[in-house]
Structure 1
């Protein structure tokens, strides 16, 4: 064996948790690359509580009980007698209606006392008012200083779409180029399925849309099959991450039950579904579990990928590692798709516009000519570096005969033991790192694959960290 060492040696070994984070980050980047599209975010109340201090179910019920003089018993009484939050919400809605028409009249706008106003509008008006009072005036005011970097990483994800059960406006403020679709409007009209925020339980901008009481949930469940049909397309075609939910949350169980029904094979881990859970006990020695078994409906279970973190920033960075989409405006994509849809479905069949069918036929024959219809130039590789180092640790490990990143990392460690050189400590012809915000992601070349094959097989090798020439042929998977 002859070694020519040309790079900086690693000064310190990784902690167990940083290794975990690196491997999870590689897995996320691989999944995003494999699906070839941006992720779907499914956001629950935990994220709004983290950044804005908005209430969870119990806290909201407690606030409503405290601020209505007609509710003269403690929340504990209603929990004992009515059990579920939805039933308590139903009872509170009746009390709020009666209160509004008697002692609490001055608590509500005068226009709310007409025959056309719904009986549950009074409690929903108060819910919206309370949550609005907790909402900052603009996006720059969202989150404490300790969360600013994390929020910046979140907004860089460029999600294909966002689905939320939250009522607040935080997501619209953080993703201003995404269009909110509220409540039952999801089932109406034409959505273009990109750059949209689906507020499936309503919004404070339309208090009557809020899903809060038992009767609201019954109605939601009745129409849920139509919503699920739309959402399943997302889940089959995109990476998906649940943020701000407990794994036992009924919304999680319901959605995952629908996904489970659509899976061709049962029992395995769903490769594109992640649940991000906050764990304040995480430290440098932590090695959290990577999977979660979640009970769904009809006594079934489903396995998804679990991520535990005290700081979400590195997870959000991993979902934003597609540099080709860093400057894409979702508004432009929405407008492009919507206009194309109208053109194909309405304008061309009805012929209100002149159509050059010969030109269209020739243009749709391949992606390059089709893109030119929209003034878009195709770019196959976003940089020379990406061409030379196309492999993640997971891809590298599979090419080395393993099931994933474990194999690659074991051989990289063995190489370091043999040569005293950590090739991941610098950018070189075997390895390069991509810095996304404050998180580093590692990519590898075909030269690295050849090198690690020699290490694996006990063959002689030459270690030369020099960067490849720009005239070199691109590496291939």
Structure 2
């Protein structure tokens, strides 16, 4: 089969579906400024600074002067902030609301107000382009969205998701669903915008707490970077924080993807599928690369799991929050009468909790769950691993040594849960745990695998 772009799409789509099925959860989107540029013709960071310079008479020199003097855009933002403060307290007083002149206001408030004005004007006057892509993006139903963007384009695309801005992220309940984490602030709260050197220093101080909270997301969900270049410092910072947890010996991190746009005809190409990204002078990480000039097929692949198709994120988030409060507060303090027998039946009987939330079809899956109790993640935990990656490597070892890919067909070790013609998730048995223990310990396992493959009439 030729290795052209059609083959690339087929291979990458299969990889994405396998990752989502194995992790048995929705992906998380990590969104940068390229996203707003693609769909709303929004400014890059440099273009935003140029627009800020054009609006302030106190910034008298050409932008090239500031770029020569301050190679880092953060320092240009700091310089411009000072010039905006001078303008606001001089000839520009009529340009800003009176409440910004309170003694308690930050001197940076004037440039941040202008940033807010620019981005709100963009959203109010511009209509998002590529509507077919946006509709497919919505169907992904991401667990959460994380963004360094200030604008509110994402809130319009995911109207049932709750925006959590700035410091509130540190106190958010991260077991919830359907949230947009705006880690660099938002135009809805101009003071939250991270723009100057002081802002970034403050952000770095609390970043370790933010990274710790987000790490659980990244370990248990597929993660997709959209609207970033691979060289973007935001990506390097995040990957540096999670490298030691998710990457073993410099190997590929199998659940992190970066979506890269190429403005050319790719039909005769088979682009790269991995990206080596330096995160410091002596460390690099490898993540999966998806190269495209049309994102429709990529969004379709990430949206293939329709398990949450009819679920309202706002309602599910409220139910999860109430459950969290019940477990953490109400039951320990015992302010309510709790029927523990009912709770036990709901949590132990297969499907009952899902039915309580209104997201199950009520089918009797008890026998299935007894025979195949594990997702790849819980299988990894049962074997003493932190996540699912090590089990996936053991399964690949079996495929390489026996020619039998156990995940390609239903057998006593594995069974696929189907949603129409699509694989929704993969489940694994106690027998699978036993065979993986043999692989890990170097015991003989090849005969057992080959015997099962022959019984099912399936060999690679």
* Residue 4 of structure 2 corresponds to residue 25 of structure 1: no
Aligned to 2:386: none
State the partner residue of 1:224: 207
Deviation, structure 1 residue 112: 1.2
In the alignment, structure 1 residue 81 sits paired with structure 2 residue 62:
no
Is 2:312 the counterpart of 1:329?
A: yes
When residues 142 and 349 of structure 1 are mapped into structure 2, their CA distance, relative to the original with a 3 A threshold, is same
User: Which segment drifts farther, 155-164 or 179-188?
Assistant: 179-188
Q: Counterparts of 1:8-47 in structure 2 under 5 Å? A: 16-47=4-35
2:240 is the counterpart of 1:257: yes
8 Å contact from structure 1 (residues 15, 284) kept in 2:
no
Give the structure-1-normalised TM-score: 0.76
Distance 1:37 1:98, change over 3 A: same
Report what 1:103 is aligned to. Answer: 91
**C-alpha separation in 2, matches of 1:45 and 1:271:** 25
Task: Between 124-133 and 360-369, report the one with greater CA deviation.
Answer: 360-369
- 2:101 maps to 113
Tell me how far apart the structure 2 counterparts of residues 381 and 41 of structure 1 sit (CA, whole Å).
33
Instruction: Identify the residue that residue 79 of structure 2 maps to in structure 1.
Output: 91
Displacement after TM superposition at 1:379 (Å): 5.2
- 2:139 is the counterpart of 1:151: no
Gaps in structure 2 of 5+ consecutive residues: 366-391, 407-419, 425-451
Distance in 1 (alpha carbons) for counterparts of 2:282 and 2:396: 35
Aligned CA distance change for structure 1 residues 375 and 87 (closer, same or farther; 3 Å): closer
User: Greater RCO between the two (CA within 8 Å, min separation 6)?
Assistant: 1
1:137–1:366 Cα change, 3 Å: farther
For residues 270 and 358 of structure 2, the distance between their equivalents in structure 1, rounded to whole angstroms, comes to 48
Name the CA distance, whole Å, in 1 between partners of 2:152 and 2:398: 47
Residue 165 of structure 1: which of 148, 151, 156 is its match?
148
Greater Rg, structure 1 or structure 2? 1
Q: How far 1:266 moved relative to its partner?
A: 2.1
Match of 2:51 in 1: 63
Matched, 1:246 2:232: no
Alpha-carbon distance change, 294 to 105 in structure 1, aligned in 2, over 3 angstroms: same
C-alpha root-mean-square deviation of aligned residues, in Å? Answer: 3.1
Q: For residues 166-200 of structure 1, what are the alpha-carbon distances to aligned partners after superposition, in whole Å with 9 as ceiling and x for unaligned?
A: 00101110001110000111113545431100000
Distance 2:25 2:120 in 1: 34
Aligned residues: 393
5+ long unaligned stretches in structure 1: 1-12, 383-393, 409-431, 437-445, 457-477
- Contact persistence 2:26–2:142 (CA under 8 A): yes
Contact 1:68/1:96 (8 A) holds in 2: yes
